[in-house]
Amino acid sequence: MRTLIAVTGILISTLLFGQAAPDVAGTWTGVLGSGSAQLHLTLTITKGSGGEFTAQLNSVDQGAVLPVDSMTATSDSVHFEIKAISGAYEGKLNADRTEMSGTWTQSPAPGQPLTFKRTTGEPSTTPKATTAASSGPKEKPLSIPLDITVPIAPTAFHADGKTHLVYELHIVNMSPWDCALSRVDVLSGDASAASLASYPQSELDGMMDRALKKDQPSVLPPDAEGVVFLWVTVDKSQGVPSALRHRLAVKLGNYPEELMVETNPLHVRTGPVVISPPLRGDHWLAANGPSNTSGHRRALIPIDGHAVISQRFAIDWVKVGNNGQTYQGDKLDNKNYYAFGAEAFAVADGIVTETKDGIPLNVPGANSRAVPITLETVGGNHVILDIGNGNYAFYAHLQPGSLRVKLGDKVRRGQVVGLVGNTGNSTEPHLHFHISNASSPLGSEGLPYALPAFDVEGKGWTWKPTDAKTPPEHHRMEIPAENEVVVFPSP
């Protein structure tokens, strides 16, 4: 679901600063546009343990994300860019650092006024009162008061010629003190007990989210929950372990000793489902595809009282033309986009468990939606296929009237299910595709998969067909990675 900014994903970028940079840490809110096209935005800027800043930009009204490439702060201004959509913000800070007023520009459209107002956060020079939360225990506790869970065990999969394990640690601080995570170690849970990865606090701050984040995400106040988004790459010499263990080093308030907690073994699944490509042809860009910083990866959404990441391995497939763009001519005409009208294929034999049709096309653009975005309309016209063994294939944003299947139909691998469009929460014609463990667009857990074969022509939004690798890289039994430009083989 490719958009300018989104509620279901989080944008994280490093905030560069010079000697005269102000302390802009805190939460800022703003509204872009007017009327039905309004976007309510929340910008959260966090100061790390080393004095560095990170930032996240959320949209209350949208459901997808593009990464912020850079953010800078000077003595009286803030600037950030999203190069993939030619977008930039330039704002001026007022004297007491409670408001920044400026302009959002998305070429070639004219700039729009955008003002952010600070809602939380104090300059780092403001003294902080000593509280019970920061005092720490008087004696070493008998056990570390953390509740650590993994919603869904990882399935080993291949991408970029490597083997990966992707999952999350949900950590609840059950103590009356602040709990700072100073390190997370991932260990093999089998007899070897080999170390697979180690993340210090400086890295954890970029790998974590938590509700009401005001300071470092790796510091959990009492009763707070944090989520560590793990992407563990397994060394070929070690092989895929049958299980994982986690060792966490923590500090409780001002207690002087670093404390250790180790989890029970976590089973590792092997053998992701093997599917055929959902599209055919060349120059397909895997926008927002699998990576640990993709908006899809961080789209933890509570549905029916349970938070899940259905889009954990989702890809927004856009097609690039010889001009290095996803369209030619008038960018407000869906027909001018190379992906528009492409056939979407059943990736395996299956049964249709859900369809949605009748949602009109959007006019391409960051703020254009033909219908209000709800849980019913976020995927636009869509199809879900039960392809067996607890795997469901989701196709979103299809053209109205283009669905070739209906509820209950049995489909065969390679059968056309619909045509690529621009409906629901979509800014331009593309196919949002993912595999999950239930027949629900968002209320399910995303699963990895493997394609028997595809070729990588290049990578990145600036890629052009004239840059194509000769010969292209051949990939077997892998999932395409974020921003790879691929060629799907003919059946």
pTM, two decimals, is 0.76
pLDDT of residue 59: 67
pLDDT at residue 449 is higher than 70: yes
CA distance 167 to 102: 38
Q: Region 144-154: what's the mean pLDDT?
A: 95
Structure tokens at 278: 């959902």
pLDDT at residue 232 is higher than 60: yes
Strand locations in 253-401, DSSP E? 259-262, 266-267, 273-274, 281-287, 301-303, 306-308, 315-319, 343-345, 350-356, 381-386, 392-398
pLDDT of residue 83: 62
pLDDT of residue 6: 30
Domains, the chain, ordered by start: 13-120 (2.40.128), 132-267 (2.60.40.10), 273-488 (2.70.70.10)
pLDDT at residue 128 is higher than 50: no
pLDDT at residue 408 is higher than 60: yes
Q: Is 144 exposed, middle or buried (0-12, 13-18, 19+ CB in 10 A)?
A: middle
Of 58-62, 251-255, 440-444, 473-477, the one with minimum mean pLDDT is 58-62
CA dihedral in degrees (129, 134, 138, 141; nearest 10)? 170
- Residue 254: which pLDDT band, with cuts at 50, 70 and 90? very high
First to last CA, the chain: 27
Question: Contact, 445 vs 390, CB < 8 A?
Answer: no
Q: Region 111-124: what's the mean pLDDT?
A: 74
pLDDT above 90 coverage of the chain, percent: 62
Q: Region 366-371: what's the mean pLDDT?
A: 88
Strand locations in 235-334, DSSP E? 243-252, 259-262, 266-267, 273-274, 281-287, 301-303, 306-308, 315-319
- Residue 45: which pLDDT band, with cuts at 50, 70 and 90? confident
Strand locations in 74-189, DSSP E? 77-82, 87-93, 99-106, 112-120, 146-149, 157-159, 162-173, 179-188
Q: Region 288-317: what's the mean pLDDT?
A: 94
CA distance 345 to 322: 24
Q: What are phi and psi of 72, to 5 degrees?
A: -130, 150
Return the higher-pLDDT residue of 249 and 217. Answer: 249
CA distance 438 to 168: 19
pLDDT of residue 8: 23
- Residue 433: which pLDDT band, with cuts at 50, 70 and 90? very high
pLDDT above 70 coverage of the chain, percent: 85
- β-pairing, 273-274 vs 449-459, is parallel
Mean pLDDT for the chain?
A: 86
The angle at the Cα of 434, spanning 172 to 312, to the nearest 5 degrees, equals 20
